[in-house]
Structure 1
Amino acid sequence: MVPIYTVEKNGFIKMLQTIDPKYQLPSRKHFATVALPNLYNKTRARVAEQLQNIVYYSTTTDLWSSRTTHPYLSLTVHFIDGEWALRGMSLQTSYFPDDHTGEIIAQGLQDSLASWKLREDSLVCMTTDSGSNMIKALRLTEWPNLQCFGHRLHNAIMNGMKDPRIDRAIGVCKKVVSAFSFSWKKRRDMAVVQAELGLPSHNLITESLTRWGSRQLMVERLLEQEKAIAQVLGADKKSRHLVPTWQDIDVLESINKAVSPLKEFTDALSGEAYVSVSYLKPVIHLLNNSLLQPEEGETELTKQIKSNILNYLNNKYNDPVTQELLDMASLMDPRFRTTYIADDEVDGIKKRAVTELMSLPAEKSKSQPGTSVQDLHQEEAAEPKAELDQGLVQEVV
């Protein structure tokens, strides 16, 4: 992807003339007023046609800022098509200069769904980040919603590391990384020392506040290269003071011990090419009963971090509405079924599943490609699908 003004650059023009001297390059105005609008309209029409065929859908939305700090509201839709394939489409990224209050965000989301003729009563769930304004917006719309697990896990980890000792050690870590990032000589010397010590030829990693899990990666890499870092920085009297002390290393090791088992979950449960919501209860169970349980020989700081992370996550997923949504997702996953559902909730969840299964004929669940959402909601109730539906119901019960 390149900006439109590329067509005005001399180098680009000369390149095309070399490739084909007879080719007449359209102007920047043509691309801005004709080519791109036509492409957008054709693409939008094609996407809108596909959206007419969906019965139920979920969405993902996010408020974010560009490198030039311009605010945008993005919306992605997820659904199962007529071939039973999981689909996802990024519908829009809209400039959103208004105040980011819950009320204004709610109106913006409602307008976005309306512009694509997506029925609000067909929305199964909207996934968002954990921002208070976004949570308020979803509360105002009364739509089913769930916060992104990757974002919540990131927040849990950051919350779990609120400790003066950790703040100091992370500050030292960042200064070390910065010293190598801005000095090609230190990076050159690091490569030599890595070879001498038999260490992996890895660069240090900079923490990025918008890249979940990057703090753990930064800490892990510094610990891996601890000896090389000490040798390179110690050889320069101007940077000798940056060498981490043994106390700092102890703290960093405690951090890494606590959070390194979690690094796979941040990305794995944030994917859109597969259903991930049914994993949440099993993962939370795994965290509570294994990965974040205190172990013999661990430092008190490691145990404290684990406890803080667990308390944060358990508190966030403790409300009844979220629990019911996660229970239904687990029940529908043949790998998990009722394994991670509380015993006193199993009967209620099964009854809800039966009720929803039995209501499917009224909405013509066996929809054909080309049947619109509106048609499905307006059609008269169809005859019950005897054997198939009874088999599903019996399996659930």
Structure 2
Amino acid sequence: MSSQPIEVDGNSSDEDRDESQSGEIEEAGDAVDTGAIEEPNETKYGRKRKSRVWDYFDEVEVNEKGKMVPKVQCKHCKKKYKHVSGGPTTTLKRHIESKCPKIRQIQGKTQGLINFEPQDNVSLPVGLCGVYDPMKNREIMARMIIAHELPFAFVEYTWFNHLMKYNNPSFQPVSRFTIRNECLKVFESDKDEIKKLFRSTSRISLTSDCWTSNTTVGYMSLTAHYVDHEWKLQKRIISFIDIAPPHSGQVLADGILECIMKWSIQDKIGSITLDNASNNDRAAAILMSNFQERGKLHFDGLFFHVRCCAHILNLVVQDGLSVIKDCLIKIREGVKYLRKSPGKLFQFGEIAIGLGIPTKKSLCCDVKTRWNSTHQMIVSALHYKSTFHHYADRDPNFEWKLTDKEWASASAVCKFLEVFLDATNIFSGTSYPTSNLFLVEIFNVKKVICDAYESSDQFLRTMSETMFQKFEKYWGEVGVLMAIASILDPRYKLVSVEYAFKELYPAYEVEEQIKEVTNKLKKLHLKYAKEWVTSKTAASTSRTSAVNVPVEPSERSRNQENFKAFLKSRVGEKSTKSDLEIYLEEPIFYEEEQAEGTFDVLLWWSQNCSKFPILSKLARDILCIPITTVASESAFSAGGRILDDYRSSLTKDMVELLVCGGDWMRAEITTKSKKSTILTLQVRQLSYLSVIFNMNINMIIFFFFSKQQKWKKIWTLKFQ
């Protein structure tokens, strides 16, 4: 006889059915657990029963065919089950969770709170059995402090401890010293996880920049950029260390080398992006020489040192803005004058309202070293152009009234700089590749400069002349990285290079420059092809060597080997094209239904990596190279928030922990959030398909995931 509880089926006795139907039923509004103190359920040996099912069942005896049979009866629906002492309770649990209608009714009426689910797959300190884990709770508090840049003393706040104690009476307060040590443990654990990711990454690109804190301590930020196994561009701040003055090239190079040695990624560095400064040029030269001596200089050194394009654009625009220096001074000082006094600003707003000008746009003052903030200041001033005129007539102390000619110059400059602003915004992205976008955008920039230089407006000609000289200084020759990356974008290929080079180079140099770029691309592809063949040969050799038992070949096997050798010789007679040649011969990728700016070049390569096995590896390593240092500069914003006037005594190790650890956690949450969103959209699309076609959900899943990515995109656009 089986020891498992067996559910009473439809052949149960009439006595059982009558008892279950006539039994007294509890009111639906009563809670399942009344909270009353009861005697613990015990077995006949006096041992306490630990299963929660005995809160819902009673032991009863039922007369069946003249015999008293022990059973268990649900307290709510009076359903009975056979029961064996000491047997499993799986059937009883199943009844509580899904089968009992009374329990479901009671739970539905008594639940008055919103059931919040954990977001971003963040594990909670409460396990599946509802057991409170104080160590897990401490770990989550440490992650909260790191991710949200909170002070360590946050765990000692009175009301925080009141809240935690209210939510769980078992909560034990911790000190700031304890949570500091816990943050160290979390940081080291996350660091080990990132090291594992780096070990599975073929190539890593770096960006670096320097910053001085409010305590006059110099810090250097180092950020790693790579493409993960899912073909997603990732970036992690791996170092935020103090640098002893002076910040010479040798000091910077030593700091970068020390960092990459700690992370064990010295053999995977493909490039490093730095600002355009003499010490950075010296540091890049030292690092390049070091990698070359060790034989780990990838891409033949073509892309090792990348100059920050955003910084160069800033230099170009600053030279152009010097032409309207006097006009900018008047706008800047006039805005400062109004913003200093709330009364003057209120009066300025009343004048604007009287003139029918919307006042939602605020007057902003610029940062002189950032031209995009200067552009924003000019835009806001032009919005209130007539207001400035009327206010200057009312306030005799306002000395910065612009003439009509100066306003016209400011308007022309504002319109002229729009293309620079668009290019800067595109170059500053960190969640998508930027090297493939450089050639097209920089072509637009030079075309605008050349058009202004050839225009009839003397002011624009004077302005564009200085900008053209600076442009030619840095981008007189387009970098090989930008050209090759543009070719590896399936939307452009060689078309972008041919079109852009006609504008960027003299006519007699165009063919030569295009040939030089394609030759270097073929050389890199050949190098990757040799490495790919070597890896394949090593893999096949290891599989062959695993079978070390000699077997006498049969006549059939010998014939098969001879036939395979014959086929191999015939294949060798016909010259095959490389995947690079096939890629360049195919037409460019174009999708009419795709919105502008939504194309994912890494997604395209992930879908075509089996078609272009060698070229996809090259594209993967090149497209992860950033062309700006924006990712490293973002660390300074976090550093400024952490090292404020109230926390300036933090040690340098703690600063690195909080800056790097916070970046890792935010990146992890963003990645999980994107995966969750994609999964939700896929499920939503499946449900739409099942409704429209009235098909079985299993067939829909097979149909959805077996089709090519192109069809999946079409369904996404149709039903999103």
TM-score normalised to the size of structure 1?
A: 0.84
Cα distance in 2 between the residues matched to 1:205 and 1:365: 59
Cα distance in 2 between the residues matched to 1:248 and 1:299: 14
CA shift digits 1:143-191 (9 cap, x unpaired): 611112111101111122234xx22222111111112222222232333
Residue 105 of structure 1: CA displacement?
0.6
Residue 255 of structure 1: CA displacement?
2.8
Match of residue 523 from structure 2: 355
Match of residue 332 from structure 2: 174
Cα distance in 2 between the residues matched to 1:198 and 1:356: 62
Q: Secondary structure at the match of 2:479?
A: helix
Residue 365 of structure 1: CA displacement?
8.8
Seen in structure 2, the aligned counterparts of structure 1 residues 25 and 363 have a Cα distance that, compared at 3 Å, is farther
Cα distance in 1 between the residues matched to 2:193 and 2:581: 37
Matched, 1:129 2:275: yes
Match of residue 245 from structure 1: 403
Q: Is the 8 A contact 2:156 2:173 kept in 1?
A: no
Residue 46 of structure 1: CA displacement?
0.7
CA shift digits 1:27-70 (9 cap, x unpaired): 111122x1110111011011111000111121111112234443
User: Which of 193, 199, 203 is equivalent to 1:52?
Assistant: 199
Cα distance in 2 between the residues matched to 1:367 and 1:42: 32
Cα distance in 2 between the residues matched to 1:325 and 1:307: 27
Report the structure number with the largest CA radius of gyration.
2
Matched, 1:269 2:415: no
Residue 204 of structure 1: CA displacement?
0.9
Q: Secondary structure at the match of 1:263?
A: helix
Cα distance in 2 between the residues matched to 1:158 and 1:98: 28
For residues 1-397 of structure 1, the aligned pairs below 5 Å read 1=148, 2-9=150-157, 23-32=171-180, 34-120=181-267, 122-142=268-288, 144-163=304-323, 166-200=324-358, 201-209=360-368, 211-238=370-397, 240-290=398-448, 292-294=450-452, 299-318=457-476, 323-338=479-494, 339=498, 340-341=500-501, 342-364=510-532, 390-396=578-584
The letter of the residue matching 1:236 is D
Cα distance in 1 between the residues matched to 2:156 and 2:388: 47
Cα distance in 2 between the residues matched to 1:154 and 1:131: 13
Cα distance in 2 between the residues matched to 1:231 and 1:9: 53
Residue 290 of structure 1: CA displacement?
3.8
Cα distance in 1 between the residues matched to 2:525 and 2:420: 36
Seen in structure 2, the aligned counterparts of structure 1 residues 174 and 15 have a Cα distance that, compared at 3 Å, is farther
Cα distance in 1 between the residues matched to 2:350 and 2:534: 65
Cα distance in 2 between the residues matched to 1:183 and 1:167: 25
Q: Considering only aligned residues, what root-mean-square deviation do their CA atoms show, in Å?
A: 3.1
Identity %: 19
Cα distance in 2 between the residues matched to 1:73 and 1:297: 44
Q: Structure 1: which 5+ residue stretches go unaligned?
A: 369-374, 380-385
Residue 270 of structure 1: CA displacement?
1.6
Cα distance in 1 between the residues matched to 2:521 and 2:249: 32
Cα distance in 1 between the residues matched to 2:389 and 2:213: 38
Q: Secondary structure at the match of 1:359?
A: helix
Q: In terms of mean alpha carbon deviation, does 248-257 or 274-283 score higher?
A: 248-257
The letter of the residue matching 1:350 is T
Q: Is the 8 A contact 2:276 2:308 kept in 1?
A: yes
Q: Secondary structure at the match of 2:240?
A: strand
CA shift digits 1:88-124 (9 cap, x unpaired): 222122222332101111111111211111134x322
Q: Is the 8 A contact 2:423 2:442 kept in 1?
A: no
Number of aligned residue pairs: give it: 376
Q: Is the 8 A contact 1:150 1:266 kept in 2?
A: yes
Cα distance in 2 between the residues matched to 1:40 and 1:209: 38
Cα distance in 2 between the residues matched to 1:11 and 1:388: 73
Cα distance in 2 between the residues matched to 1:178 and 1:29: 45
Cα distance in 2 between the residues matched to 1:156 and 1:318: 13
Q: Is the 8 A contact 1:82 1:367 kept in 2?
A: no
Q: Secondary structure at the match of 1:274?
A: coil
Q: Is the 8 A contact 2:208 2:221 kept in 1?
A: yes
Match of residue 382 from structure 1: none
Cα distance in 2 between the residues matched to 1:139 and 1:180: 49
Q: Structure 2: which 5+ residue stretches go unaligned?
A: 1-147, 289-300, 502-509, 543-571, 586-720
Q: Secondary structure at the match of 2:245?
A: coil
Q: In terms of mean alpha carbon deviation, does 10-19 or 212-221 score higher?
A: 10-19
Cα distance in 2 between the residues matched to 1:211 and 1:11: 42
Cα distance in 2 between the residues matched to 1:68 and 1:9: 27
Cα distance in 2 between the residues matched to 1:46 and 1:87: 14
Cα distance in 2 between the residues matched to 1:105 and 1:296: 43
Seen in structure 2, the aligned counterparts of structure 1 residues 216 and 257 have a Cα distance that, compared at 3 Å, is same
Cα distance in 2 between the residues matched to 1:230 and 1:23: 65
Residue 282 of structure 1: CA displacement?
2.1
The letter of the residue matching 1:288 is K
The letter of the residue matching 2:388 is I
Residue 26 of structure 1: CA displacement?
1.6
Residue 19 of structure 1: CA displacement?
6.2
Q: Is the 8 A contact 1:72 1:95 kept in 2?
A: yes
Q: Secondary structure at the match of 1:105?
A: helix
Seen in structure 2, the aligned counterparts of structure 1 residues 174 and 11 have a Cα distance that, compared at 3 Å, is farther
Match of residue 372 from structure 1: none
Cα distance in 2 between the residues matched to 1:261 and 1:106: 35
Q: Secondary structure at the match of 2:493?
A: coil
Q: Is the 8 A contact 2:205 2:270 kept in 1?
A: yes
